[in-house]
Amino acid sequence: MDCLFCKIGNGEINSYKIYEDDIVFAFLDINPKSAGHTLIIPKKHYLDLDDIDIDTLTHIMKVAKTLKIKITEILKCDGLALTQNNGLIQEVKHFHLHLIPFYQNKKDKTLEEVYNLLK
């Protein structure tokens, strides 16, 4: 399989990893919509919301809750959106959940700066 997110999850491709356990891998988006834009992916390949099992989905949401608290406290964002795309709007065909911080006053930080704060 030639899946970008599978390669990131198994360490074949470097990433700005901020969380990992046996089931999921979370890393900073390399084209962030805002400082701290994070992706949570299951290590096992699932195409989309129709494909993923409920236990893995529940685990991803638990990790999202933990990371939301961490991102909010450390980066001082004013809100955070959770987004999950399916079908034609899904850029990488591997289930992933976006955590996208919102800032009332724009916070410009490089990926490296954000990574060093969150790792």
Give this prediction's pTM: 0.94
| Annotation says 96 is catalytic | yes
Can you give the pLDDT at residue 86?
96
Which of 45, 59, 94, 96 is flagged as catalytic?
Answer: 96
d(CA 34, CA 23): 26
Provide the residue type at 6 as one letter.
Answer: C
Can you give the pLDDT at residue 113?
93
Contact 76, 90 (CB under 8 A): no
All domains of the chain, ordered by start, with CATH?
4-118 (3.30.428.10)
Contact 43, 9 (CB under 8 A): yes
**What ranges make up the beta strands (E) of 1-119?**
17-20, 24-28, 38-42, 79-83, 97-102
β-strand pairing of 24-28 with 97-102: unpaired
Helix (H) or strand (E) holding 79: strand 79-83
Can you give the pLDDT at residue 109?
87
Can you give the pLDDT at residue 105?
87
d(CA 9, CA 42): 8
β-strand pairing of 97-102 with 38-42: antiparallel
d(CA 83, CA 49): 12
Can you give the pLDDT at residue 108?
81
Mean pLDDT by 10 residues, the chain (119 residues): 91 96 97 96 97 98 98 96 96 97 87 93
d(CA 29, CA 118): 13
